[in-house]
Amino acid sequence: MRNLISSVFNPLRKWLDSVDIHNPDLALFVYRVIPAQCPFARDIKLFGHTILHIPPLCKFNPLYEELMGLRFRAMCYLVDDCGMTI
């Protein structure tokens, strides 16, 4: 099963890793759309006591590392080439 998932996502992983950012509008869009940290971790509390912890699900995303790399490249382009402060 793991090999099947890996083989399905490998072309998309390679494409995401090969995306070069050379457009400020695209870089800003990528930087804003991809969150810096996983927004899904939650603690469910009842009367001040944690009754359930939902872990961050980003690590289960098969494209997580590639998306973080794309966001980082966009951020570096904005800072280094466009002179923006983030």
Give, in order, the Cα–Cα distances in Å from 29 to each of 1, 3, 34, 45. Answer: 34, 32, 9, 35
Please report the pLDDT score of residue 5 as a whole number. 65
Lowest-confidence segment of 16-20, 26-30, 44-48, 56-60 by average pLDDT: 56-60
Residue 73's pLDDT is: 96
The pLDDT tens digits of the residues spanning 14-30 come to 999 999 999 999 999 99
Q: Model pTM?
A: 0.76
Q: Where are the domains of the chain?
A: 2-79
Residue 48 pLDDT level (bands cut at 50, 70, 90): confident
| CB of 62 closer than 8 Å to CB of 5 | yes
